[in-house]
Amino acid sequence: MDEKEKNFLDKALEDVIDPELYVDIVSLGLVYGYEVNKNKDLKIIMTLTFPGCPYGPTLKDQVKERIEEEKIYRSVEVELTFDPPWSPDKIDPDVRAALNI
């Protein structure tokens, strides 16, 4: 995946807002990466702010739906991981400052 495609995906996922912090999941550092194969199957690897987050299934669905709207990929899979665990250090520095973290 080239940088242009990564930036496109990041920009699209800025539309997915964490319902507790009211910040997009990219700025929060919840998106860890993307994998795309030659068949244009996309896997989005992301995390949650904590493993028991009650919004996890909703966020996962929103991520999948948002990228499917683009109609670029044959399939979209969202994989949750907690390795490494998320921490506030992963938040974009400007957003962290705005949140006083």
CA distance 47 to 68: 19
Extents of the domains making up the chain? 3-98
Position 52: which residue type? G
pTM of the model: 0.93
CA distance 65 to 48: 17
Token output for 34: 């993307």
Q: Where are the beta strands (DSSP E) in 1-101?
A: 31-36, 41-46, 75-80
pLDDT for 101 equals 83
The secondary structure element, H or E, covering residue 46 is strand 41-46
pLDDT for 1 equals 86
Give the CATH class of 3-98. alpha beta
User: Which ranges of the chain have pLDDT less than 50?
Assistant: none
CA distance 32 to 30: 6
The secondary structure element, H or E, covering residue 67 is helix 56-68
pLDDT for 44 equals 98
CA distance 23 to 10: 14
